[in-house]
Structure 1
Amino acid sequence: MNQRRGWRWPARAVYGAVLGGVLGVAPALACAGELQGASLSPLWGLPFAGMLLSIALLPLLAPLFWHHHYGKVAAGWALAFLLPCAAVFGPGAATAAFAHALLAEYLPFVLLLTALFTVAGGIYLRGNLHGSPALNTALLGTGALLASCMGTTGASMLLIRPLIRANDNRRHVAHVVVFFIFIVSNAGGALTPLGDPPLFLGFLQGVDFFWTLRHVWDKALFLVGALLLIFYALDSWFYHRREELQPTDPTPDTHALALEGKVNLALLAAIVGLVLLSGIWKSPVVFELAGVPLGLPGLVRDGGLVLVTLLSLRATPAQVHADNQFGWAPMQEVAKLFAGIFLTITPVIAMLQAGTQGPFAAIVGAVTRADGTPDPAMYFWASGALSSFLDNAPTYLVFFHTAGGDAATLMGPLAPTLAAISAGAVFMGANSYIGNAPNLMVKAIAEDRGVAMPGFFGYMLWSGGILLPLFLLMTWICFL
């Protein structure tokens, strides 16, 4: 955002001076639609904190209000950032921040998520699976393998409905979905750039396509293997309780197993191809809309995703959607909440990207040893802790550049550091519902199907009790 010379309304000077003094900001803004993080106060992160607390607390304290007005709450926190931004830096700056978040970040994100949600919702596994511990564990393991091929979001959207339906005759299902988020929506995407956005950004920065597979496979195997063992033991304990199985199956189906809506498998492959193409294809053609540069590869990808979504809706038989109980409510919830997150996170990311010159210098500086060499263990925890609540893709880039930013060096002498950044950004996205995009989507789908999912803090009790000890053990084995 460029520093504004306009908006000469007299109240602007007074209001801007007051807010500038309270928030401790400098009047200058960076170009390219980004705030200068080094000049911002941490208080600019309050709308983002409010957004997170609303997601965490309002479903517990005011569930009826939240159910009907979560979109208005998200819009309110977005305005809590945009209006002070307009007052301090000018309406043009706020407009630029809004346009950048909308066009460069949010729309590509929500178009991809909508395409995956629609295509996966058009695939139906006919025949009734029975959610035994062995079957559930096999589905989670399969999802972990698929996640690195089609992305954590794609694998999650493909498998969550069959998994819930397989367990719909059981009284305890929430733990199955929680481990699904741990394994399929996060840990499984750690092996290729297709698996999770942070690794795709690393690929665009020059990291070899198979580098992560060679250097993170052992960490992923340890984490996924440990989680599958823990899940099998826990699920077996629930399964063999006297009252676990309901007398009748809510969805009895005597048909042999068969896959319907197969055209969507080809459309799913098309989505993966469009995403990969947009990263590999380099074009000098750039269009500008509302001051935001939009490259031709990204526009082709987004247009292709819209086309894939429409083709899926047209080609999928109505009976498949009916059997899948396909509806737009989960997608609407995620789209509205992440609109607020993408806007309020803008100053937080800017402050992180300022590195040692910004207000979060202590976090960035903590990853370096006294002798000036990077500390892989600290990189693992710093990138992971921030990825638990912030967008893990820019968090990955922050620490990628903090470690030097040269892909050849990071893949060579500093390979343990790059492995730590990659593992932290991907694995610890499972620590909260907002750590990775599919987490909240899986929760919304599960709740839409009647699964009593834990709340924001309840989920973090699960992740804190299961994931954090595994991460500590991984640190001791792999990064010290």
Structure 2
Amino acid sequence: MRIAKGIMAVAAVLAMPDVAFAAEAHGLPGGTMPLLWAIPFAGILLSIATGPLFFAHFWEHHYGKIAGFWAALVIVPLIIGFGFGEALYAVLHTMLLEYMSFIILLFALFTISGGILISGNIHGTPLVNTSMLLIGALLASVVGTTGASMILIRPIIRANDDRRHNVHVIVFFIFLVSNIGGSLTPLGDPPLFLGFLRGVDFFWTTTHMALPAAFVGGLVLAIFFLLDTYLHRREDARPPLPDPTPDSRIRLRGLANLPLLGGVIAAILMSGIWRPEIYFTVHGVELALQNLLRDVIIVALALTSLVISRKEYREANGFNWEPILEVAKLFAGIFICIIPVIAILQAGLDGAFAPLVSLVTGADGAPDNVAYFWLTGILSSFLDNAPTYLVFFEMAGGDPQVLMTTLSQTLLAISAGAVFMGANTYIGNAPNFMVYAIARGQGIAMPSFFGYMLWSLAVLVPVFALASLLFFL
């Protein structure tokens, strides 16, 4: 019944399709705002879902304008309804505190990892593919899901470019490397890093997430191995396709970029540990010195990578700026469109989404951990997992010491739901869309938005159902 109750919430959730990284209150009266404020968010999500499928040529040339249109449908009503000052504060709060750091980190990881070349090629057999996915999943908890995805997506594409069936390899790559693999440390995925900044111990994540991550990741990897083995055997019965990149010895090039990735990680840790209590104010928005310094360091590291990396390595990687530009433009619109949705969610039982709040509380007033897992996960599939994590973190009380001890299972349910179920759609986690864009640019016939969801419904949802029974009942 609990699982059914959580899944039934999808209907309510889809009345407010979502995605973004805005999490703090913006001073908006969420308790009085109707669901009409979610229409722009629904619009931008539907545009992302249907644009590449139904009007691909128009979308490729005008996706930035489309995102800007939906963002304007939030900004203009905010100005009319709450005044220019309040609207400016809400937008600046999101863009300066959340979007800026978000896109700077993605830009740096994209740029630095683009200078690291895994040259050579191996044949994408089931054992090789499974090994690469395992390595990528483990790497994701060290350099983040974005970094691991950018380093390994092109080598795994090359390894399978002579196979008739290779779409499933990229789909499972998104499942494991771009999402589930980032669950072991706060560096792996933005929701866990936000928890770290809120006071969750760094190694709490490692110790508590290890078993659920091993179960979910191991089962998904086993499903991949069986499917890849079946498809590989079918191909063996047919004449082989010519290999565009014949097998050759694997070499890791661009090693000077590895310390730069280490520098990004160090800058992130610095911003979470060093708090000098120095702030700069822009129209009422307080910018902490440690966060500004972190972003400056990360940008400097990315620019350093552009200077020191050899041009031929980036060319061999097929490196270009279009994937990060697409993500930057679309997520700018998404971040703005999520502002009123987050305000309504943060109103809790006083807001239009009050039924969601009641779903995570049992009859005795105790938290319903299965509901927390599924509702955090369902929203993370469409909202982007970072803001969803914070909403449910606050809904569970927001005290890290209580959540790490008395309510440790609740925090675990929120963490697992946010990280694992970010894999359910292309927009649940930023690397998903980047991997999709790169694979599509390499000529792989990636499934549409809804086609990808069929994969996640068939593979991931049953695994998550088992995990909820094992860890959260």
Do both proteins adopt the same fold according to a TM-score greater than 0.5, normalized to the shorter chain? Answer: yes
**Residue 130 of structure 1 aligns to a residue in which SS?**
coil
What is the aligned partner in structure 2 of residue 319 from structure 1?
312
Which amino acid counterpart does residue 287 of structure 1 have in structure 2?
Answer: F
**Residue 288 of structure 1 aligns to a residue in which SS?**
strand
Q: Which structure is larger by alpha-carbon Rg, 1 or 2?
A: 1
Q: Is the 8 A contact 2:25 2:346 kept in 1?
A: no
For structure 2, the 5+ residue unaligned runs are: 1-23
1:91 positional shift: 2.3
Counterpart pick for 1:132 among 99, 104, 125: 125
1:253 positional shift: 5.7
1:173 aligns with 2:163: no
**Any residues of structure 2 matched to 1:24-423 within 5 Å, and which?**
33-242=26-235, 246-252=240-246, 254=248, 256-423=249-416
1:95 positional shift: 2.2
What count of residue pairs does the alignment treat as equivalent? Answer: 449
**Residue 259 of structure 1 aligns to a residue in which SS?**
strand
Query: 1: CA distance between counterparts of 2:334 and 2:251?
Result: 39
**Residue 202 of structure 2 aligns to a residue in which SS?**
coil
Deviates further, 368-377 or 387-396: 387-396
Cα distance, 1:314–1:361 mapped onto 2, change above 3 Å: same
Q: Is the 8 A contact 1:171 1:245 kept in 2?
A: no
Query: 1: CA distance between counterparts of 2:315 and 2:145?
Result: 25
**Any residues of structure 2 matched to 1:3-42 within 5 Å, and which?**
33-42=26-35
What is the aligned partner in structure 1 of residue 430 from structure 2?
437
Query: 2: CA distance between counterparts of 1:356 and 1:397?
Result: 17
Q: Deviation per CA, 1:288-310, whole angstroms, max 9, x where unpaired?
A: 22432111111111111111111
Cα distance, 1:431–1:125 mapped onto 2, change above 3 Å: same
Query: 2: CA distance between counterparts of 1:365 and 1:204?
Result: 27
Q: Is the 8 A contact 2:427 2:433 kept in 1?
A: yes
CA RMSD for the aligned pairs? 1.6
Query: 2: CA distance between counterparts of 1:428 and 1:33?
Result: 27
Which amino acid counterpart does residue 242 of structure 2 have in structure 1?
Answer: T
1:330 positional shift: 0.9
1:93 positional shift: 2.5
1:340 positional shift: 0.8
**Residue 382 of structure 2 aligns to a residue in which SS?**
coil
Query: 1: CA distance between counterparts of 2:372 and 2:165?
Result: 37
Query: 2: CA distance between counterparts of 1:274 and 1:454?
Result: 37
Task: Return the TM-score normalized by structure 1.
Answer: 0.91
Query: 2: CA distance between counterparts of 1:72 and 1:479?
Result: 43
Q: Deviation per CA, 1:93-139, whole angstroms, max 9, x where unpaired?
A: 22222222221111111111111111111011121121111111111
Query: 2: CA distance between counterparts of 1:93 and 1:206?
Result: 30
Larger relative contact order, structure 1 or 2 (CA cutoff 8 Å, min sep 6): 2
For structure 1, the 5+ residue unaligned runs are: 1-30
Q: Is the 8 A contact 1:355 1:398 kept in 2?
A: no
Query: 1: CA distance between counterparts of 2:119 and 2:182?
Result: 27
Query: 1: CA distance between counterparts of 2:194 and 2:215?
Result: 24
Which amino acid counterpart does residue 330 of structure 1 have in structure 2?
Answer: P
Which amino acid counterpart does residue 453 of structure 1 have in structure 2?
Answer: M
Q: Deviation per CA, 1:209-246, whole angstroms, max 9, x where unpaired?
A: 11122222111111100111110111112212237775
Q: Is the 8 A contact 1:78 1:340 kept in 2?
A: yes
